Amino acid sequence: MNTVNIPDDQDDILLQLGRDVQILIQESAALLAHLHVEDGEHHHFQLPYDLPGAKAYFLSRCLMDVQAVAGVLIRLTEHLHEEGERADRTTPPMRAIFLTSILTELGLWRRRLTEALARLVLFSTTNTDAHYFHYLLVSEAEESRREAENVRQDFGAASRTLVHRAEDLRAQIAAVGVALPVWHLRAGRNNRPRQPSAAEIIREALAHAQPHERTALGYSYLHAFSAPSSLVHFSTHARRERRDDELMRFSLRVLFMLAHAITTRVGALAGIPTALPLVRGGHAAAADLPEVGDFVAVTLDRNTVYLAEVLAATQGIGVIGRVRVRFIGEAPYADIVDDEFPSDLVHLVQRRAELTTAVLGNLPPEWQVGGEDLDNSCRRAVEFAWQTALRDLLLRHLREG
C-alpha cells in the first residue's frame, strides 16, 4: 500500500496539505456517490434514514465529517500561506493567538473523527442494516430523553409531547429485533440498557482495529480522545504537551491518518474498495522499548523530568508498552522509589550494555570489575552526567522543541 509522509518544512507542509486535501475530497465524494446520496443534499447534513437505508446514512455522515475536515485544512493552508508572507509583520503574541485557536479547532476535529472511526471499526462486527438502524434509534431516543429532561430542568416545562416522542423511539428500538447486549447498548444498573461511554467504545475498537487504525487512534483512549479533549474544554491548567507549532504538525498528521482510516473503513463496510494512501504516524515502534538495566528519563511534563533505571519493559496494545523503573537520585515523591509508566513518557538516556562496554574498555586488562561494583559505577557515572548537563539539556529540548 502507498504511503504519504507529511514533512516538517513549512513550504513542504503547504504543498503536501494541498495534495492530501484534494485526495480526501475526491475519495469521500466518490464514496458518497457510491452510497447514492443525492448531490447537494449531504452538504446540508439533512439525510433521512430508515431500516434499509440506515447503513448508507451512517456511513455518509462519517464521510461528511471527512469533507468538513478537508474544509478546515483548506482554511489552515490559507492561513499558513498568509502567515509566511507577513512573517516579518506578525508579532509573537499574535502568532501565539493564531496557533492556539488553530490547535483548539484541530483538537475538536481529532476528537470527532476518533469517535467516528471507533464506531466504524465496531460496526465491522455488526455490519447489518438492522444494527445500523438500531444504533441510530438508540442515539436518537437518548437525545430525545435528554431534551425532555433539560426542558423540565431549565424551563420547568413537563412536556408530555417530548416524553412521548422519546418513548415512541424506545418502542421502535424493541421492534428492530437486535439481540442484546451489543457494542452500542449494554446492560446498566438494574439491568436497564445504557449507551457505553466514549472510553468504552474507543478501547473496544482498539481490540478490533487494523494496525493503521490503531496508529490513527494513538493506541489508547488517552491519545485518541483525552488529549485532544484537553484542547477543546476550558481549563485553568497549563498544557503538558509539546510546543504549539510541534503540536500543530502532530495534529495534522493525526487528522490525516484518521480521515484516511475512515474512508478506507467506510469503503470496506460498504463493499467498495478504496485506493486512498495512508499517512505514516509518529509513534514509537516496538523496538524502541528500553531494555532491563537501561538508564532513562521519565518526563511527567515539559518542566519535570527524572532519571531512572529500567526494571522491566512489557509490550502493550499496538506499540505503546509499559516500563517499570527505579528512580536514581531525585524522585517525584519520597515514598515512591519505583513505578510503572507508558513507554511514551520514558526516554532512553543510555543503554546499559553500551555503558558497561565503555567502562570495561577504559580499565586495565588486569582489573577484574563486575557484578554489583560495576552496576554501581555505571549508575554513578550516569547520575553525574545527568546532574551536570543531561537534565538541563533535556529540559531545554522539551521547552523549546
Q: What is the DSSP letter of 329?
A: S
Structure confidence at residue 115 (pLDDT): 96
Find the Cα–Cα–Cα–Cα dihedral 84, 90, 94, 95, rounded to 10°: 30
Q: CA angle 20-286-398, nearest 5°?
A: 70
Say what the pTM is: 0.77
DSSP string, 163-180: HHHHHHHHHHHHHH-PPS
| C-alpha angle 138-37-74 in degrees, rounded to nearest 5 | 95
Burial class of 28 by CB neighbour count within 10 A (0 to 12, 13 to 18, 19+): buried
CA 256 to CA 69: how far, in whole Å?
A: 9
Instruction: Copy the grid coordinates of residue 126.
Output: 455488526
Closest CA to 326 of 302, 308, 341: 308
Q: Which residue has the cell 493567538?
A: 97
179, burial (CB in 10 Å: exposed 0-12, middle 13-18, buried 19+):
exposed
Looking at this protein, which amino acid is placed at residue 374? L
User: In 3-state terms, what secondary structure has residue 297?
Assistant: strand
CATH T-level assignment (fold) for domain 286-400: SH3 type barrels. (2.30.30)
Residue 112 corresponds to which cell in the numbers above? 470527532
171: left (phi over 0), alpha (psi -120 to 50) or beta: alpha
Confirm if 251 and 243 have CB atoms less than 8 A apart.
no
The domain spans of the chain are: 3-125+183-279, 286-400
Gyration radius of the chain over CA positions: 26
pLDDT mean by block of 10 residues, the chain; 401 residues: 42 70 87 74 60 91 92 81 60 72 87 96 96 94 91 90 89 89 85 87 93 89 81 69 70 88 94 55 54 91 88 76 92 93 88 84 65 82 90 78 51
